[in-house]
Structure 1
Amino acid sequence: MPQMPSARDFATTCRIGTRGSDLALWQAHTIQRLLGELGTQTEIEIIKTRGDRIDDVPLAQLEGKGFFTKELEDALLAGRVDLAVHSLKDLGTDMPDGLALAAMVGREDAREMLLVRKEAVDEARLARGEALPIKDGARLGTSAARRQAQVKKLRPDVQIVDLRGNVPTRVNRLREERYDAILLACAGLKRLELKLDDLFTMPLDPAVFVPAPAQGMLGLQCRDEDIWKRTIAQLDCTEAARAVRAERTLLCRLEGGCQLPFGVNITGSGSQWRLETFLARDVDDVAPLRLSLSGSEPEALAESAWSKLALHRGM
């Protein structure tokens, strides 16, 4: 017997689920505007995730995955929202049955940004062009295993101190002198247009400090057979999505989440692409793997990197 259509099959408003931080709302409103340009009516629903509720515990001490995405996915599966807007670097590659990544949108600057209180800048290191020109024994704030492992490799003298919270909160904690320096994604800082004139800021070359897979890209997730999937897919940024898809393929094959000290960044266009990747066994790995590859296809670059990454991970 044919299945009767549900009320949602005739829906005229796409309900957008998002976290409630300033950056998440910026992202949701951007997607709302883009869908509006396609003639789609939308409304936004704020959903608090586990990662938002527990912001005073280091990420390494939280069990499981999906700290910033699971509640959004649950809302999709329950029919509370029709679209979830994610920072794609937070979204796992192992997606629940019934959900799909319908589009990858608007990759902003994927680099990392070093922010330093001006009195903590090491002018000699800066003059030498070092990646982390901060004073000896500086306190650097970050919770990400990938960042911690790379900092320890570049500057073993630096004290790594846990740092949680949304982007403005982290910047303010730096200003309050709880830290000498912090690391943040360039994309979030650019999107929020934060004033940082009182701080020393330096974007880090991915050839020196490798970003997270899919950093700077938005991921639009919906139900796999939903009426909105085709509309959402029209927002996909095809060229940038090729690189990001290859980055996420490596993350998936490594069976990694946000606690794996792994970074990969693929840039380029046409037939000229470059891959930078970093993999440590743990944050204290004294001999992490570092690769730089060039080629004509992002997918082929990822495949070339895979065998070496798998060997280092012991797979």
Structure 2
Amino acid sequence: MKKLIRIGTRDSELALWQANTVQKKLQNLGYDTELVPVKSTGDLILDKPLYELGITGIFTKTLDVAMINGTVDIAVHSMKDVPTLLPKGIIQAAVLKRASSEDILVTNGPFEVEKNATIATGSLRRRAQWLHRYPHHSLVDLRGNVNTRLQKLKDNNWQGAIFAKAGLQRIDVLPENHTSLDWMVPAPAQGAMVIVSMKNDDYCKEATSNLNDFDSEVCTQIERDFLRTLEGGCTAPIGALAEIIDDEIRFKGVLFSLDGQTKLEIEKVVQIDNYKDFGAECAQSILNNGGKEMMRLIKLETK
């Protein structure tokens, strides 16, 4: 039986672009759809760093409630914003083909990294990695949607701000004055879009399964398993990237202290057939080699 698929989304320009992309793909397959935009807690509270808000699910909770209440049928998210443990009754229905996972620095003009500088980011992961490389720089918090953050950079006397390249590319606001941070390990699932649905909604599960990209699903699962095993519900500076090259998966994962001074990392290669527990195994290796103590300290510092 054919039914209307109501697509829940945040109401930022980027979130709407993502939801519109999913809508077009479903409509091309013959499904009837409509967009249902909502404003999330993360979009409403912009005067506090994310880690002070309890970052887990801050951008997804409102849509989770809308799905459980039956207001929307599916939701589209930037996958890096989605908690590794989904609410009861909600499942991952599809991961779309991943865009760039790269972080970039957008600058207010040329500056010398050897000298003192002020860099803006709302991410503990980016902050820690930047301080690890440039401990003499100052970091300031930066919140808001992509356009708001770009404007704040222009309005302030900062040397630069760190963004996910994919988000700026998607809504066509990637400035010329940007630099690739190819040394920075991205957030788990950065650059990927995910669709979630209700576990008992066979119609929407079947419809959205047509949009799933297997390689992106595998790589993001490994990265998110790494995150879940390390984090234990805590907010920490964690980066992870899995890439499929031929029949191998190459993985790099990092855990930093909050001040960026201490870095624990793992690089490992596995055959693609053995991906199922790979992310968790890599995280366990980090935990066994100093990660447990570092996570204990991070939990104390972020209380």
Q: What TM-score does the superposition give when structure 2 sets the normalisation length?
A: 0.90
Match of 2:286 in 1: 309
Residues 76-91 of structure 1 mapped to structure 2, 5 A cutoff: 76-91=67-82
Say whether residues 1:57 and 2:48 are aligned partners.
Answer: yes
Tell me, in whole angstroms, the C-alpha distance in 2 between the residues paired with 1:224 and 1:91: 17
Q: CA offset at residue 238 of structure 1?
A: 0.7
Match of 2:237 in 1: 261
Q: How many pairs does the alignment contain? A: 289
Contact 1:167 1:189 in 2 (8 A): yes
Q: What TM-score does the superposition give when structure 1 sets the normalisation length?
A: 0.87
1:64/1:278 CA distance change after superposition, 3 Å: closer
SS in 1 for 2:253: strand
2:207 to 231, 241, 244: 231
Residues 39-58 of structure 1 mapped to structure 2, 5 A cutoff: 39-58=30-49
Q: CA offset at residue 285 of structure 1?
A: 4.8
Match of 1:193 in 2: 172
1:29 to 20, 31, 40: 20
Tell me, in whole angstroms, the C-alpha distance in 1 between the residues paired with 2:233 and 2:191: 17
**RMSD (Å) for aligned C-alpha atoms:** 1.8
Tell me, in whole angstroms, the C-alpha distance in 2 between the residues paired with 1:215 and 1:41: 29
Contact 1:174 1:182 in 2 (8 A): yes
- Structure 1 unaligned spans of 5+: 1-9, 123-133
Q: CA offset at residue 159 of structure 1?
A: 0.3
Tell me, in whole angstroms, the C-alpha distance in 2 between the residues paired with 1:303 and 1:67: 24
Larger radius of gyration: 1
Tell me, in whole angstroms, the C-alpha distance in 2 between the residues paired with 1:45 and 1:258: 31
SS in 2 for 1:289: strand
SS in 1 for 2:231: coil
Contact 2:96 2:213 in 1 (8 A): yes
SS in 2 for 1:179: coil
Tell me, in whole angstroms, the C-alpha distance in 1 between the residues paired with 2:232 and 2:187: 11
SS in 2 for 1:103: strand
Which runs of 4 or more aligned residues in structure 1 lie more than 4 Å from their structure 2 counterparts after TM superposition? 298-301
Match of 1:212 in 2: 187
Match of 1:271 in 2: 247
Q: CA offset at residue 258 of structure 1?
A: 8.0
Q: CA offset at residue 175 of structure 1?
A: 1.7
Q: CA offset at residue 230 of structure 1?
A: 1.1
Tell me, in whole angstroms, the C-alpha distance in 2 between the residues paired with 1:253 and 1:37: 38
Tell me, in whole angstroms, the C-alpha distance in 2 between the residues paired with 1:258 and 1:27: 28
SS in 1 for 2:110: helix
Residues 137-216 of structure 1 mapped to structure 2, 5 A cutoff: 137-197=116-176, 199=177, 201-205=178-182, 208-216=183-191
Match of 1:3 in 2: none
Q: CA offset at residue 168 of structure 1?
A: 1.2
Match of 2:3 in 1: 12
